[in-house]
Structure formats: structure tokens, C-alpha cells
Amino acid sequence: MIRIQHTYAKLDTLHTTLLLQLKDLPEIIYYGERLRDAEDYSYFGSGTDGAPLSSADDVCSNACVLSSSGDGSNRETMLHIVAADGSGTLRPVLFDAKVQKGKPLFQSSLPSSYGESESLILCYKDSIGLEIIQYFTVFKDSDVIATSVRLRNTGEKSVHIRRCMSLQLDLGKGDWEAVTLDGASQRERCPHRTLLRGGSLSAASFAGLSSNAHNPYVIARNRSNRGGCIACNLVWSGNHRQIFDLSPLSGLRLLSGINDYLFNYKLDPSETFEAPEAVFVRGEEETEVCEQMRAFAAEHIVRGEWKKKVRPILINSWEGFLFSFDQKKLMEFCRRAAQVGIELFVLDDGWFGKRDDDTCSLGDWKVNRQKMGGTLREFADKVRKSGLMFGIWMEPEMISKDSDLFRAHPEYVLSVPQKETMEIRHQRVLDLTNPKVRQYMIEAISSVVEESGASYLKWDCNRGIFDLPGAEELFYRYTLGLYEVLDTITKKYPKLLIESCASGGNRYDLGMLCFTPQIWASDNTDARSRLAIQEGTLYGYPQSSMGAHVGASPNPHTFNSSSPDTRFSVASAGAFGYECDITALSEEMLETVRAQVVFYKQWREVMQFGRYYRTDSVFDGEASGWIFVSEDKSRAVAVVALPEKGCSAIPFRARFQGLDPNALYEVSSRPQKGAVPVFFKAYGDALCHGNIRLGNLFTESEMHEYSNQVVTRMFTFTRIG
């Protein structure tokens, strides 16, 4: 997979080749479709089209995988180091290049991808005694390349790392467009396209979480003919920065790494600093790189018991009850849920301390016996007796001022002397850089998991970090602390399914996915909003990771109302569940839910782990749609959605993807209230190339009943010949 020959290192993935010329600063001389091995590649010349001009600032304009402050380029660079004497010039020189089977492990708690692989190791040295070790790992079954950087101080004096990005790819000239996933709470990860015309664009986060503002997953797309696309992501859950730096001279530089905001890491002699792993992939089309990244996350990031196991259908107490429940209410809730075939009950916020609202008790992870009618074990046993697995909510990184934990250990909180500690949602952040706090957290989580015998844990985190003691290393060390706790818990309870959450999807990234196979995509459960949030999320993350629930109608966040069918069609695109007061549903509605659950169980293997294709985008055109196709293409499930109401019934046509062109499929619509059933047989080629008429999607009854209806239809495909 990797070959060093003469002065070249050739990294072959399944379908691509990254060719580096090994010199003082290795140059990218080719990155594209896979090449056969050759003796000589000198005809590629220098990687960028830029020609250094003798009188210009940009004397260093080659396409490289590493750059540094003071390297002669007038642009964003990868490493900013300040030496003990205050100097900022770093001129690393490659002194060794070798290939190693497998993947180097991090010494710190940083998580990373795994799998059968081979790595190229490039070692550089600078005269201040800094050694830079850069890894590029290729995998047997993927086009994604993983890369990471370690800095080792072999000198006698401390140096300060002001910036250490994990990835640099110089991609040359082109008609470049940046695709970023941006948003906010309740509208996470909306894809945006920015034409790059000059300067640099940075998608970054600043509050200690990977954030709902700008996700670390980005794509650089060259709109020129056959320009290709490069997607990259970071295995990191803290502050990050993705930079698209466009130089008029040498084209696009893509940098990905931790955010250098306030960052100033002191590296003492003999110490090593590890930057998180970045992963990247090149393909001709955007859909291709997205597919590669989803598959990579599912195969090489998500791990453990639940990696390939179908995820249970859950029902969560939050939207139905918020804080106001008691044992009786919850048991009735569980009884109903079990009756309709739901498999897992999740006891959300409000079960511990004296927490009847959000003003207190975070940190006091002891059951409120009065509310729960006994011990946590007794309650959980009752839930299991009703036929459901038991799951529970915690927000382990947080503390309320009004809590026994705070009264006993005010020093556990991140705060700055003489400054009032910021409260958001009446809560403060625990100092995860403190080993005692991490120990407390491990004990608190363990006791909840063990006492309840929980099968599932919802790990929430509802605010960012704005109290910044020891700011220069805080964000980095906080995230390492978080990973240490997650690592301990996942090793201790390997069967526990953890779904992470951060006010919805404020920390949706590959770092969390190394520990938690699911992430709650958004608190917004409205089908209309979810079409956008989920489409954006699926750019870079597999659908099995994406928590998606049927909420109430009207939706408690947007007040849109929509049919049970629509809510089901949209939520079933992810790790599926319900989030409403099931005790308030009519018998008829319960029947509907039962039918949904039966259907979901029959098809969930395909829906959770099949290959995802976007057939229509909610961001352009009149429809939104997708199809999940099983690996052997024998089964598929598709959804088409019309977000805008028409004035009359519209006959809708759709074109599918991913089916076997030579196979005959039986296509049928999932029975939906008021919808004309569709049933026919067709070959995969016709289904994917033709425009299939799917009947009238808007029915009058639906239009009357629901205020802001997104109409959906769901279809199944079964290969019959």
C-alpha cells in the first residue's frame, strides 16, 4: 500500500494515490486516481502551478504537507513555534522516512481510527531541537488517509507551541469552493458553499466543543473540469479550526487541526505533544467523498459491541414530561411503550438530587427516591419487568452551584479568581484537567450504571467553556481529560450503548464517535427542520450514528404540525426512537405507532447500516429524498419528502440510486393514511435512470389536518430476480 522508492513515497489507497517527493520539505506531486507503480515521476514537476518570483514574499510556494512560521511563504502555515529565545523561525528538515505496518498509537488519551493499515512515518528536525514526526496511514479497505503529528522537544530548553495543525494539504490552483456544515442549536450542520476567491476561510469553534456553529467536517471542491473533491475531518471534540487558505500564487491550502485560539502549549525538554488525528479523502465527486467518509466512520471510528449491532428503538422521557414526572407516570409510559413494541426506555433529566427544574443538582447523581418511588435499581427493575431495556441520562461534565458536590468541592469547577464564574442554564463546568475531578466522574458514572444496570447512557453536555484558568493549554487538556473518562467508562462497560448529546448536536464529531456509537443530532424534532439537519449530518457521518426521534405534533420547538407518517419517515433515517408523551396518545395513534415499530424492525438493518444515497436535496428543488440500500443490494428503503404544500394534488416522480441495475425489484409503498398504495415490479436500471411516477403525494385530508405539513412517502424494494 505504501512504497518508498528513490525519492518518492507512494501511498496507494483502494482507488487513489498520494505521491510525495521526499526532500527537505516533502512535496505533494500528485493526489488523484490510483496510479500504477512507475520508476520515475519527475514529469509531474512541482506540485503547484505557482512559480516562485525572486522578489516576492512567497519564496516557498511548493505543494507541501508541512509548513511553518518563517518558512518564506506569505500565508497560513501549519506550525507556529516560539523557541526559548523568543524566535519564531522554524525550518524543519526531513531526516528520515520509513514505512511501518499498522498504525502508531497515541501515548495520550487521544482517540483515533483503527483497522488493517500501513503507515508512512516522516521525521523532521529543526535546529532548536524540535523533532516533528508526521504519520500518514492508509487502510486496506478505504480511500481515506489518516494523518497525525507529534512534536518532540529534544533540545535543552522549553519551546512554546502556538499552533500545531494536524493536516496540511496543498491542493493547487482551481475554481475552489468550500463546503462547510454550519448552524446553531436546533439547526445544526447546514451545508454552505462558499466560493473561494481570495484570502482564507476558517470554520472553527471556540467554546471547548466541536460545536454546532461549524462542524470539523469540511470539503474542498474544485469546480474546474475534473478538479475533484477533498473531504477532511478531525478526530477531535474540542476547539478546532479548518482553514481554506487561497494563495493567488499557489492555490488552495487546506489545514485542519485544533484551534490556536489562546493556545500556547509549553513543551519542556524530552516531552512530546500529540495533535489529534485528521482524516481526508479525495474523489471526483462530492457524493463520492461523503460516502467514503461515512463508510470510514462506520468501519474505522465507531467500535465495540454496538458497531454493527442493530440499535434498539427507544423512547425518551424528555419532550413528553421535561422535569415533571413521578414513578407512576413513568411506569404507565413504559407499559404503553412496551405494548407497541418499543425496546428501550430512556429516563432523561430530572431523576436525581432535587432536580425539578434546571437550577440545581447537577453533580449529585443520586436518585430522587420520592420522585422515583424507591431506589434507582428498584425503578430500573420495574422498567425491565415491563419489557423494556433501561437507559438513563447524565450530564457528567457539569455541576450546579446548588449541589452537594459544589458545597463539598467548589475547587472542582473551572473558574478564574476575582471573576464571577459564568452560569449558563444555571450550570458550571467541571475542571476535567484535574485528575481528582476525572476520578469523581468515573465513580459517579460507574455508580449510576451499576446501580441501575443500565443498557444505555445518554451523555449530555449543555454548555461551553468560558471560564478560562490556565487558558493556554486548557481547551486541549480538557478534551484529553474527557477522552480519558470516556475511555475508562467504555472499557469498564463494553456493552453499554452510549449516545452523546450536547444541547442537541453541539458536539457531533469523530472524537465522540470513537466512544459513543450514537449522537443526538438535534433537540429540534420537527420533521421539516430535521430534513435539513439530517441531510447535512449525513454529509460526513453514518446514519447509524444519528439519533432521530418522532416528536409530538404540534412540535414543541417549532409548533409545526405534521402527520405521524411524516414524522416517522423522517426520524427513521437515523438511530430511531420516540420522544413524546405516549400516555397521551389515542388508541388509534398507538396503533399507528405499533405499525411503525413493526415496519422499522423489519427494515432497520437496511436503514441503519445500508448504503445511503441522497436522491433529492432539501436545499435545492422542490423535494428531499434518500434511499438506503443493503450491501448486497437485495433490499432498500427510500423516502421522498415534499417540504412545500402544493395547491392541488401533485403527481410526484422520483429517481432512485444504488440499486442493482440487473435485478428485478418489487417496489411497494409503506401503507400510509390517506395515501394511494403503490406497488409494481421494475428492474434496478429503470428505477435509477427513469422518473418513476409515485402517485399523488398531497392528499386533501393531510393538507387540512396539518398546519405546516411536509408530505412524505416511504417505499421498500425487495429483489425478486
Which residues would be at the binding site for ligand GLA (CB under 6 A)? 318, 348-349, 393, 460, 462, 501, 503-504, 520, 523
Query: What are phi and psi for residue 201, nearest 5 degrees?
Result: -115, 135
Residue placing its CB nearer to ligand GLA in the complex, 322 or 703: 322
Query: What are phi and psi for residue 491, nearest 5 degrees?
Result: -75, -35
**3-state SS string over 55-119?**
CCCCCCCCCECCCECCCCCCCCCCEEEECCCCCCCCCCEEEEEEEEECCCCCCCCCCCCCCCEEE
Residue 156: closest CA among 130, 133, 123, 125: 130
Residue placing its CB nearer to ligand GLA in the complex, 191 or 505: 505
CA distance 611 to 595: 25
- Give the distance from CA 325 to its chain's centroid: 32
Listed in sequence order, the residues at least 6 apart from 17 whose beta carbon sits closer than 8 Å to its beta carbon are 10, 11, 30, 31, 32, 33, 34, 35
CA distance 595 to 70: 65
Residue placing its CB nearer to ligand GLA in the complex, 166 or 503: 503
Listed in sequence order, the residues at least 6 apart from 259 whose beta carbon sits closer than 8 Å to its beta carbon are 204, 205, 206, 238, 239, 240, 241, 475
| All cell numbers assigned to 552 | 409530538
Least Å from the CB of residue 400 to ligand GLA: 12
Amino acid at 203: A
Least Å from the CB of residue 391 to ligand GLA: 12
Contact 243, 169 (CB under 8 A): no
Pick the catalytic residue from 467, 523, 526, 565: 523
Amino acid at 103: K
Residue placing its CB nearer to ligand GLA in the complex, 138 or 346: 346
Q: Count CB-CB contacts under 10 A for residue 568.
A: 25
Least Å from the CB of residue 320 to ligand GLA: 12
SS3 state at 569: helix
Least Å from the CB of residue 210 to ligand GLA: 15
Q: How many residues does the chain have?
A: 721
Listed in sequence order, the residues at least 6 apart from 643 whose beta carbon sits closer than 8 Å to its beta carbon are 528, 531, 618, 622, 623, 624, 710
Residue placing its CB nearer to ligand GLA in the complex, 227 or 320: 320
- Give the distance from CA 65 to its chain's centroid: 25
Listed in sequence order, the residues at least 6 apart from 443 whose beta carbon sits closer than 8 Å to its beta carbon are none
Amino acid at 525: T
Least Å from the CB of residue 183 to ligand GLA: 14
Residue 338: closest CA among 372, 375, 371, 313: 313
Residue placing its CB nearer to ligand GLA in the complex, 429 or 639: 429
Residue placing its CB nearer to ligand GLA in the complex, 168 or 186: 186
Q: What are 393's strand-pairing partners?
A: 458
Least Å from the CB of residue 504 to ligand GLA: 5
Residue placing its CB nearer to ligand GLA in the complex, 452 or 503: 503
Amino acid at 52: P
Residue nearest ligand GLA by beta-carbon distance = 349
Least Å from the CB of residue 325 to ligand GLA: 13
Residue 660 among the catalytic residues:
no
| All cell numbers assigned to 411 | 475547587
Residue placing its CB nearer to ligand GLA in the complex, 139 or 520: 520
Contact 173, 251 (CB under 8 A): yes
Contact 472, 424 (CB under 8 A): no
Residue placing its CB nearer to ligand GLA in the complex, 230 or 457: 457
Least Å from the CB of residue 316 to ligand GLA: 7
DSSP state of 572: T
Q: Count CB-CB contacts under 10 A for residue 226.
A: 8
Contact 43, 51 (CB under 8 A): no
Listed in sequence order, the residues at least 6 apart from 268 whose beta carbon sits closer than 8 Å to its beta carbon are 153, 158
Residue placing its CB nearer to ligand GLA in the complex, 124 or 393: 393
Residue 442: closest CA among 376, 474, 397, 509: 397
Listed in sequence order, the residues at least 6 apart from 222 whose beta carbon sits closer than 8 Å to its beta carbon are 171, 174, 175, 176, 177, 228, 229, 252
Pick the catalytic residue from 12, 170, 349, 460: 460
DSSP state of 505: B
Least Å from the CB of residue 309 to ligand GLA: 23
DSSP state of 206: -
Least Å from the CB of residue 185 to ligand GLA: 9
Least Å from the CB of residue 579 to ligand GLA: 8
Least Å from the CB of residue 363 to ligand GLA: 14
Residue 523 among the catalytic residues:
yes
Instruction: Count the helix, strand and coil residues of the chain and give each as a percent rounded to the nearest 5.
Output: 20, 35, 45
Residue 316: closest CA among 359, 291, 280, 351: 351
User: H helices of 325-461, where?
Assistant: 327-339, 369-372, 376-385, 404-408, 435-452
Residue placing its CB nearer to ligand GLA in the complex, 392 or 663: 392
Question: What is the set of active-site residues?
Answer: 460, 523
